Structure 1
Amino acid sequence: MGSPELHFLGHSTVRVELAGRTVLTDPVLAPTIGALRRVVPLPDPAAWAGVDLVLISHLHGDHLHIPSLRMLGRDVRVLVPRGAGAWLRGRGFPNTRELSAGETLSDGDLRITGVRAEHSGHRWGPRSTHGPATESLGYLLESPGAGTVYVSGDTGLFDGMAVLAARAVDVALLPVWGWGPSLGPGHLDPVTAADAVALIRPRVAVPVHWGTLTVAGMTVVPSPLRARMRRLLVDPPRSFATEVAARGLPTRVVVTEPGSRVLLPPPPSLAAA
């Protein structure tokens, strides 16, 4: 049995190499996104070169960032939640396809299934109706003999995650925070992300959606929030690992700094060899 190769580029952007395909999740490759500023170095362009497929979990600007998509080329193949295809094609990305939760498509030996996510699908967030209203999705990437990767996207905890336990998930990419001093609805924090691990039972969990973006000035301008925000750029994945261990779960948590290759433990078949 093989194993996927992963590179955490920051926030929810992960390069996944599986079944001979290179997949990029929710690409954010720029120094700024509106009022948000990147607080870690930009990824080397080599880290996002040669992408076969881009997965967009939902339409919020820190997950669907048009300037970052343009860096990948106008002809890049993009998979979006149902209802977003025409909107994105109208912005110059003709090779866009839609998927809903429960639907599957194949790209060579790679099988991609849409998975339900509990999160607002509006382009501008839960309190605004500007832009299309769509589903939010996670994705399950599967390849016989090469492993299964669950890309949750932004989501809150929900009981239906338990159905993924039957899919023998090798690696779960789970958000553990965000970009501000607090979280709105439809997000996982270190505690609820550990609860998700208890439902999904992946072999490995990789915390994402942390340590990359924050509101401009929040970590440098003196304020009551400065110290808290500095901690929140560092602590959530480690708190998540502690919570998983406290539950006695067999899942291995691999904390990976933004911009780094994910050092996955070998599959059991290789470890025993």
Structure 2
Amino acid sequence: MTWYRMLGRAVVMTTMILSTCVPTSVHAAPPTPAVLALRLRSPDAGTPPGPNGTVQFIGTATVLIHYQGFTILTDPNFLHKGEDVHLGYGITSERLTNPALGLEQLPPIDLVLLSHFHDDHFDKLAQEKLDKNIPIVTTKEAAEHLKRIGFKRTFGLSTWDRIDVEKGEARLRISAAPGRHGKAGMQLLLPPVMGAVLDFGPNLAAPSHRMYISGDTLIYDDLKAIPQRFPDVDLALLHLGGTRILGVFKVTMDGKDGVKLMQIVQPKKAIPIHFDDYDVFKSPLSDFAREVKDAGLERQVVFLAHGDTYTFTPSER
């Protein structure tokens, strides 16, 4: 028996055992969300930012968001075609594409938003070459790991925690949203993940733009709380790919799941990301496109190739 099959059998058995050991929920009051604060260096005098914002798709779950003077990098992954990432338990995955930009081509970054710590979301290049003083907003577990490898400004959030960011007169609130990387016991073998809601502007009751980033989640009941807490999402970035570990365990949304999440969150526009870049991604973008068409949601979806940019305008509320 090869090591791959032995590992697969071990993971299957572990998952079966853990799935029977997941504790049942108890009716306790949820913890009060933590509120953190981050003050960024005020921009130098110069041309003020324009009214519109942009999302540039770099590849996999990596995007650049520019809006109201903020420049945000998500899930930095800059490996090239043919290079491998390590996903734990001896499992690797080969990159099938190149990023639209190299790490050295990035503009000055205000903060990194990281859904979880996996090599295909924070690769070895980012670990080695990103400025160790750059603020990183992520899960509590990922924040601690990043501290251990030298990053000095990490901000760990649990679900519904938030961080208020200031840069001169600009304001941004990032709230951690639910995410689950695997079903039942399988999630215990994977790092915790978070989605994120980004509210831009000083008026949180009527943000100038509300963006939701799903993170590497599957569909589960906790996601239904997102539109209750954060209605009127202007733009959703959906992590798709139908990632399957050992070819068996689905740990990210496939095309059908992506449509289900759109129907839950009901964004005005949605952009699919995190697809077709690694050999563990088993649900191609065409799956999502077909499901979108069948659901009659074509007008709500924007498809970006690597390097493409989507421009958005302030919301009218």
Question: Which bracket does the TM-score occupy, shorter chain normalised?
Answer: 0.7 to 0.9
Deviation at 1:249, TM superposition (A): 4.0
Q: Give, in whole Å, the separation in 2 of the partners of 1:163 and 1:2.
A: 30
The amino acid that maps onto 1:190 is G
Number of residue pairs matched by the alignment: 244
Q: In 2, are the aligned partners of 1:28 and 1:68 still within 8 Å (CA)?
A: yes
Partner of 2:70: 21
Partner of 1:158: 220
- Alignment equivalent of 2:179, drawn from 114, 117, 120: 117
Give me the TM-score of the superposition, normalised by structure 2. 0.68
- Could you say what the CA RMSD is over the residues aligned between the two structures, in angstroms? 2.9
After TM superposition, list the pairs within 5 Å mapping 1:247-266 onto structure 2: 247-249=295-297, 252-261=300-309, 263-264=310-311
Q: Give, in whole Å, the separation in 1 of the partners of 2:54 and 2:96.
A: 25
Deviation at 1:126, TM superposition (A): 5.1
Q: Give the 3 Å change call, closer, same or farther, for CA 41–84 of structure 1 in structure 2.
A: closer
Q: Give, in whole Å, the separation in 1 of the partners of 2:298 and 2:231.
A: 16
Farther off after superposition, 206-215 or 42-51: 42-51
Give me the TM-score of the superposition, normalised by structure 1. 0.77
Matched, 1:194 2:259: yes
Q: Give, in whole Å, the separation in 2 of the partners of 1:53 and 1:183.
A: 35
Partner of 1:6: 55
Q: Give, in whole Å, the separation in 2 of the partners of 1:208 and 1:26.
A: 11
- Alignment equivalent of 2:239, drawn from 170, 175, 178: 175
Deviation at 1:178, TM superposition (A): 4.9
The amino acid that maps onto 1:99 is L
Residue segments in structure 2 that go unaligned for 5+ positions in a row: 1-49, 87-91, 202-206
After TM superposition, list the pairs within 5 Å mapping 1:1-273 onto structure 2: 2-31=51-80, 32=83, 33-34=85-86, 35-45=92-102, 48-108=106-166, 109-119=171-181, 128=189, 135-144=192-201, 146-165=208-227, 166-178=230-242, 182=247, 184-214=249-279, 236-249=284-297, 252-261=300-309, 263-264=310-311
Q: Give the 3 Å change call, closer, same or farther, for CA 171–3 of structure 1 in structure 2.
A: farther
- SS of 2:236's equivalent in the other structure is strand
Runs of 4+ in 1 over 6 A off after TM superposition: none
Q: In 2, are the aligned partners of 1:8 and 1:256 still within 8 Å (CA)?
A: yes
Q: Give the 3 Å change call, closer, same or farther, for CA 25–183 of structure 1 in structure 2.
A: farther
Deviation at 1:127, TM superposition (A): 7.2
The amino acid that maps onto 2:61 is S
Residue segments in structure 1 that go unaligned for 5+ positions in a row: 216-228
Q: Percent identity?
A: 26
Q: In 2, are the aligned partners of 1:53 and 1:76 still within 8 Å (CA)?
A: yes
